[in-house]
Amino acid sequence: MRAYQDMVFSTAARLTGNDATAEDISQEVFLKAHEHFDSLQTSPTAGGWLKTVATNLSLNHLSRYRNRWRFFSELRRDDAGGESEAPEVEFAAPDTFFSNVDADDRRGLVERALDQLPEPQRVPLVLYHFEDLSYDEIAKQLGVSLAKVKTDILRARTALAKILQRSGTAHETFTA
């Protein structure tokens, strides 16, 4: 458990955007792991199994509460002033992105920015960039069209860029 607790928690936290929920999901992941302890104890793929369970439980949680969150997400998107018409954003190369910020600070800035994204944008973006799922896999997991996944990821990148620019940290790392 100690070896994987940070990975399990961060997976759930990124997807749900809520530390308390991520703690509950993490606990559930490790309860499931305890149930399968005999097979996981010597398995070289135990970490992958735990990450998959954390991802699936997080997505299940989001599905159960999607209608409640959709209302707030739509309000937030409308308040952003027509975000759907935002220009495409290209991210700077990884070696120049946040060049004056150390890795821990960068991770914290991105995590806080992700927390500000509405769920329909945050979840596909996290699945793509942090969980390394393909667009097709994301569409299948979320039960939406491939076009919706691509649109939501594009909108999430645009919104993330705006949030980071507002923070003053990434002022010239994005081009419109």
- Are 20 and 37 in a shared domain? yes
| Selection from 167, 145, 144, 131 nearest residue 55 by Cα | 131
**Collapsed DSSP state (helix, strand, coil) of residue 115:** helix
Higher pLDDT, 105 or 76: 105
- Are 43 and 87 in a shared domain? no
- Are 29 and 106 in a shared domain? no
- Are 98 and 19 in a shared domain? no
Share of the chain above pLDDT 70, in %: 72
Share of the chain above pLDDT 90, in %: 17
- Can you tell me the mean pLDDT for 112-127? 88
Please say which residue of 47, 64, 81 terminates a domain.
64
- Can you tell me the mean pLDDT for 114-121? 88
- Are 60 and 84 in a shared domain? no
Please say which residue of 25, 47, 64 terminates a domain.
64
pLDDT of residue 60: 84
Higher pLDDT, 62 or 65: 62
| Selection from 65, 119, 115, 48 nearest residue 29 by Cα | 48
Average pLDDT, the chain: 75
- Are 153 and 168 in a shared domain? yes
The pLDDT tens digits of the residues spanning 89-108 come to 444 333 344 555 566 677 77
The pLDDT tens digits of the residues spanning 28-44 come to 999 998 888 887 777 78
Query: Which residues form the domain of 13?
Result: 5-64
- Are 26 and 50 in a shared domain? yes
Assign 24 a pLDDT band (cuts: 50, 70, 90): very high
**Cα angle, residue 133 at apex, residues 45 and 115 outer, rounded to 5°:** 105
pLDDT above 90 for 80? no
Task: Output the domain CATH number for residue 166.
Answer: 1.10.10.10
Q: Which helix (H) or strand (E) holds 175?
A: strand 174-175
What is the total count of domains within the chain?
2
- Whole-prediction pTM: 0.55
- Are 104 and 45 in a shared domain? no
- Are 60 and 94 in a shared domain? no
